[in-house]
Amino acid sequence: MGYIAPIAAAVTAVTAVAAGRQASAAGKFNQDIANRNAEVKEQEGELIEQQKEFDIAKFDQQFTKLQGETKTKILFSGAELSGSGLRILRSNAEQAEIEKDIIEYNAKINKQRKFEEANFARMSGVVARNQAKSTELGYYGQAGMSLLRGFG
Protein backbone atom coordinates (compact mmCIF):
# COMPACT_ATOMS: atom_id res chain seq x y z
CA MET A 1 0.00 0.00 0.00
CA GLY A 2 3.02 2.26 0.29
CA TYR A 3 3.29 2.74 -3.44
CA ILE A 4 -0.25 4.15 -3.91
CA ALA A 5 0.48 7.53 -2.32
CA PRO A 6 3.38 8.35 -4.68
CA ILE A 7 1.37 7.21 -7.70
CA ALA A 8 -1.63 9.31 -6.62
CA ALA A 9 0.68 12.28 -6.05
CA ALA A 10 2.20 11.85 -9.51
CA VAL A 11 -1.23 11.60 -11.14
CA THR A 12 -2.39 14.69 -9.26
CA ALA A 13 0.77 16.55 -10.29
CA VAL A 14 0.39 15.57 -13.94
CA THR A 15 -3.26 16.65 -13.86
CA ALA A 16 -2.33 19.98 -12.28
CA VAL A 17 0.39 20.59 -14.88
CA ALA A 18 -2.10 19.81 -17.66
CA ALA A 19 -4.60 22.22 -16.09
CA GLY A 20 -1.86 24.85 -15.88
CA ARG A 21 -1.08 24.44 -19.57
CA GLN A 22 -4.77 24.62 -20.39
CA ALA A 23 -5.13 27.83 -18.36
CA SER A 24 -2.19 29.31 -20.23
CA ALA A 25 -3.68 28.36 -23.60
CA ALA A 26 -7.06 29.79 -22.60
CA GLY A 27 -5.43 33.06 -21.53
CA LYS A 28 -3.55 33.35 -24.81
CA PHE A 29 -6.74 32.58 -26.73
CA ASN A 30 -8.69 35.23 -24.80
CA GLN A 31 -5.94 37.77 -25.39
CA ASP A 32 -5.95 36.96 -29.11
CA ILE A 33 -9.71 37.51 -29.22
CA ALA A 34 -9.36 40.84 -27.41
CA ASN A 35 -6.63 41.94 -29.83
CA ARG A 36 -8.84 40.98 -32.77
CA ASN A 37 -11.71 42.96 -31.25
CA ALA A 38 -9.34 45.92 -30.94
CA GLU A 39 -8.45 45.67 -34.63
CA VAL A 40 -12.15 45.61 -35.53
CA LYS A 41 -12.77 48.74 -33.44
CA GLU A 42 -9.89 50.52 -35.17
CA GLN A 43 -11.30 49.51 -38.55
CA GLU A 44 -14.67 50.88 -37.47
CA GLY A 45 -12.90 54.14 -36.59
CA GLU A 46 -11.44 54.32 -40.09
CA LEU A 47 -14.87 53.61 -41.58
CA ILE A 48 -16.24 56.55 -39.61
CA GLU A 49 -13.59 58.73 -41.26
CA GLN A 50 -14.59 57.45 -44.70
CA GLN A 51 -18.26 57.98 -43.92
CA LYS A 52 -17.48 61.55 -42.88
CA GLU A 53 -15.83 62.23 -46.23
CA PHE A 54 -18.83 60.76 -48.02
CA ASP A 55 -21.29 62.76 -45.90
CA ILE A 56 -19.43 66.01 -46.56
CA ALA A 57 -19.29 65.33 -50.30
CA LYS A 58 -23.01 64.54 -50.33
CA PHE A 59 -23.74 67.65 -48.27
CA ASP A 60 -21.68 69.81 -50.64
CA GLN A 61 -23.62 68.40 -53.57
CA GLN A 62 -26.96 69.15 -51.90
CA PHE A 63 -25.76 72.60 -50.88
CA THR A 64 -24.67 73.45 -54.41
CA LYS A 65 -28.11 72.39 -55.63
CA LEU A 66 -29.80 74.53 -52.94
CA GLN A 67 -27.71 77.57 -53.80
CA GLY A 68 -28.53 77.12 -57.49
CA GLU A 69 -32.25 76.84 -56.77
CA THR A 70 -32.06 79.91 -54.51
CA LYS A 71 -30.33 81.97 -57.21
CA THR A 72 -32.87 80.83 -59.76
CA LYS A 73 -35.79 81.80 -57.49
CA ILE A 74 -34.25 85.19 -56.76
CA LEU A 75 -33.64 85.95 -60.43
CA PHE A 76 -36.99 84.48 -61.50
CA SER A 77 -38.78 86.76 -59.08
CA GLY A 78 -37.37 89.71 -60.97
CA ALA A 79 -35.04 90.80 -58.19
CA GLU A 80 -31.38 91.43 -58.81
CA LEU A 81 -28.72 89.28 -57.24
CA SER A 82 -27.84 91.93 -54.68
CA GLY A 83 -29.03 93.15 -51.28
CA SER A 84 -31.28 90.66 -49.57
CA GLY A 85 -30.67 88.03 -52.27
CA LEU A 86 -26.95 88.07 -51.58
CA ARG A 87 -27.59 88.04 -47.83
CA ILE A 88 -29.67 84.87 -48.26
CA LEU A 89 -26.91 83.19 -50.28
CA ARG A 90 -24.27 84.25 -47.77
CA SER A 91 -26.40 83.05 -44.84
CA ASN A 92 -26.85 79.70 -46.59
CA ALA A 93 -23.08 79.45 -47.07
CA GLU A 94 -22.43 80.26 -43.40
CA GLN A 95 -24.96 77.65 -42.27
CA ALA A 96 -23.38 75.13 -44.63
CA GLU A 97 -19.98 75.66 -43.01
CA ILE A 98 -21.51 75.16 -39.57
CA GLU A 99 -23.18 71.94 -40.72
CA LYS A 100 -19.91 70.63 -42.17
CA ASP A 101 -18.11 71.50 -38.92
CA ILE A 102 -20.75 69.51 -37.02
CA ILE A 103 -20.30 66.51 -39.34
CA GLU A 104 -16.53 66.66 -38.85
CA TYR A 105 -16.80 67.09 -35.08
CA ASN A 106 -19.22 64.16 -34.68
CA ALA A 107 -17.02 61.94 -36.85
CA LYS A 108 -13.95 62.89 -34.83
CA ILE A 109 -15.70 62.09 -31.55
CA ASN A 110 -17.04 58.75 -32.84
CA LYS A 111 -13.67 57.80 -34.31
CA GLN A 112 -11.95 58.61 -31.01
CA ARG A 113 -14.55 56.54 -29.16
CA LYS A 114 -13.74 53.54 -31.37
CA PHE A 115 -10.02 53.92 -30.70
CA GLU A 116 -10.73 54.06 -26.96
CA GLU A 117 -12.81 50.89 -27.29
CA ALA A 118 -9.87 49.30 -29.11
CA ASN A 119 -7.51 50.29 -26.28
CA PHE A 120 -9.93 48.90 -23.71
CA ALA A 121 -10.15 45.62 -25.64
CA ARG A 122 -6.36 45.32 -25.65
CA MET A 123 -6.20 46.05 -21.93
CA SER A 124 -8.89 43.41 -21.30
CA GLY A 125 -6.78 40.96 -23.26
CA VAL A 126 -3.73 41.69 -21.14
CA VAL A 127 -5.81 41.24 -17.98
CA ALA A 128 -7.17 37.92 -19.27
CA ARG A 129 -3.65 36.75 -20.07
CA ASN A 130 -2.34 37.80 -16.65
CA GLN A 131 -5.23 36.06 -14.89
CA ALA A 132 -4.47 32.92 -16.86
CA LYS A 133 -0.79 33.13 -15.91
CA SER A 134 -1.77 33.47 -12.28
CA THR A 135 -4.07 30.47 -12.56
CA GLU A 136 -1.33 28.55 -14.38
CA LEU A 137 1.15 29.26 -11.60
CA GLY A 138 -1.42 28.14 -9.05
CA TYR A 139 -1.79 24.79 -10.81
CA TYR A 140 1.98 24.37 -11.01
CA GLY A 141 2.15 25.13 -7.30
CA GLN A 142 -0.47 22.46 -6.67
CA ALA A 143 1.58 20.01 -8.72
CA GLY A 144 4.69 20.77 -6.69
CA MET A 145 2.86 20.45 -3.40
CA SER A 146 1.32 17.19 -4.49
CA LEU A 147 4.73 15.79 -5.36
CA LEU A 148 6.19 16.99 -2.07
CA ARG A 149 3.38 15.34 -0.12
CA GLY A 150 3.58 12.12 -2.10
CA PHE A 151 7.35 11.71 -2.07
CA GLY A 152 8.32 13.80 0.94
Distance CA 68, CA 104 (A): 25
| Contact residues for 132 (Cβ-Cβ < 8 A; gap 6+) | 23, 24, 26, 27, 28, 30
Output the pTM of the full model: 0.71
* Residues counted in the chain: 152
Q: Which amino acid is at 149?
A: R
Q: Which amino acid is at 23?
A: A
Domain boundaries, the chain: 4-151
| Contact residues for 126 (Cβ-Cβ < 8 A; gap 6+) | 31, 34
Distance CA 6, CA 152 (A): 9
Distance CA 67, CA 65 (A): 6
| Contact residues for 141 (Cβ-Cβ < 8 A; gap 6+) | none
pLDDT 10s digits, 41-94? 999 999 999 999 999 999 999 999 999 998 888 888 887 777 888 888 899 999
pLDDT 10s digits, 81-136? 778 888 888 999 999 999 999 999 999 999 999 999 999 999 999 999 889 888 88
